[in-house]
Chains A and B, each alone.
Chain A
């Protein structure tokens, strides 16, 4: 599960992780089945979900084989930045100036994340800075996406717009992640380990994230089908 790389060796699948994987896989499968009906941003989202499944499988293999999956997360943060950069670029086609700002931000965060991984944080440590950059970029871009939606509203009710669900899930999860990472060091110093409620919030946030993405993909497939 994202940000829970520090799981003791031998533990392969917990019920929480299984539920998370189920929701994630469901979203990816629906996206693949409706791929031709999806618009470009949601095709990219489907590709990203497939990538995340691959990351989770690889992280389990790494965890069991080498006792750590942090290297996987270092790489996946950077690739996810690229995916999100493309998704937000495609979602904001009607707002050229905003598009440029978000693309440049994505490039900046990707480069910084890469530099941190190469020169600052070892790939065998938790990629906290990379995760912070990713969380900040996605939270910021989601707020910008919402702002652009208010500036140019369309007739479709907001709860039936795939953009809304994509933004809601992303904002929810990545804002929580951003703050947890901010408190991460403090909590570790106070408690010595991550407390259970922290895992609970991350579980919940993951469920919300991928459920929202699933809803977004279903709505995107339906909208495009109706528009044909």
Chain B
């Protein structure tokens, strides 16, 4: 092979090498672009979730105020009117009915105030997360549908107020699932803070969920709540685990670094 054909041969080899290097570079650049895109997508999703949560909290706050200011007032007025009825002029039967009505309206006012409290996330700052959970459990206990125990070591847990709201809403979601879907008769709620990790555990003795089912895939409305919990855990940096077996109840544990 003479010099005159060596030069094109070298040029050809260089060209092939350049092309190969170009394609390898493209693969590297593409992987970087993919990672960057994925990160941006996650950040966007988080921001979207955060906004959803803020809108929801504002809506719940508005409902809480309406309940307290409007419904609560109307119920109080009804109680006052009933109390003003002259019982001396009534027959025994009617007097009993009026007294029962007064009791019912008194209970209604209590429930309205209780519900208003649990919808208003600003109360978390006043009562603390344990206080709010206790308040909700008492309200459920009064209904008699289910026996719920609350176990905690300390009522005062230092936690970021924003994270406390998230945790409280997640607890409400879990409670909602127990009442609506689990058919449980008993439940235990445990809340504890050890080594700067707040642990919330909820266990019930209900019908549980099938192993083969994806717990976070909405089926007949079942799974949307769990999906919400999972998403909220991601936002506040909490870890979340769920164990559920058919007819063996469900156990959910959330761990949040404080």
Asked if A pairs with B, the answer is yes
A residues bordering B, Cβ < 8 Å?
A: 146, 149-151, 153-155, 158-159, 164, 168, 171-172, 175-176, 179-180, 183, 186-187, 190-191, 195, 197-198, 201
Chain A residues near B26 (CB-CB < 8 A)? 146, 150, 158
Of B11, B29, B31, which is within 8 A of A179 by CB?
Answer: B11
Nearest Cβ in chain B — how far from A225, in angstroms?
23
Chain A residues near B22 (CB-CB < 8 A)? 171
B residues bordering A, Cβ < 8 Å?
A: 4-5, 8-9, 11-12, 15-16, 19, 22-23, 26-27, 29-31, 33-34, 37-38
**Max count, chain B CB within 10 A of own CB: residue among A151, A154, A168:** A168
How distant is the Cα of A201 from the Cα of B16 in the complex, in angstroms?
9
Known contacts A187-B5, A191-B5, A197-B9; A176 and B30 CB within 8 A of each other = no
Given A159-B27, A176-B12, 17 more A-B residue pairs with CB atoms under 8 Å apart are A153-B34, A158-B26, A158-B30, A158-B34, A175-B15, A175-B19, A176-B16, A179-B11, A183-B11, A187-B5, A195-B5, A195-B8, A197-B5, A197-B9, A197-B12, A201-B12, A201-B16
Nearest Cβ in chain A — how far from B183, in angstroms?
38
Q: Is the CB of A183 within 8 A of B8?
A: yes
Q: Is the CB of A171 within 8 A of B11?
A: no
Q: Is the CB of A172 within 8 A of B19?
A: yes
Main secondary structure of the interface of B (DSSP, over half): helix
**4 residue pairs, one from A and one from B, having the closest CB atoms:** A153-B34, A153-B33, A158-B30, A190-B4
Q: Is the CB of B15 within 8 A of A179?
A: yes
Known contacts A172-B19, A179-B15; A150 and B29 CB within 8 A of each other = yes
How distant is the Cα of A24 from the Cα of B213 in the complex, in angstroms?
46
**Can you list 18 A-B contacts (CB < 8 A)?**
A150-B26, A150-B33, A153-B34, A153-B37, A158-B26, A158-B31, A159-B27, A172-B23, A175-B19, A176-B19, A179-B12, A180-B12, A183-B8, A186-B8, A187-B5, A191-B4, A195-B8, A197-B9
Chain A residues near B11 (CB-CB < 8 A)? 179, 183
Q: Is the CB of B5 within 8 A of A190?
A: yes
How distant is the Cα of A183 from the Cα of B9 in the complex, in angstroms?
11
Chain B residue nearest to A175 in the complex (CB): B19
Chain B residue nearest to A205 in the complex (CB): B16
How distant is the Cα of A154 from the Cα of B33 in the complex, in angstroms?
9
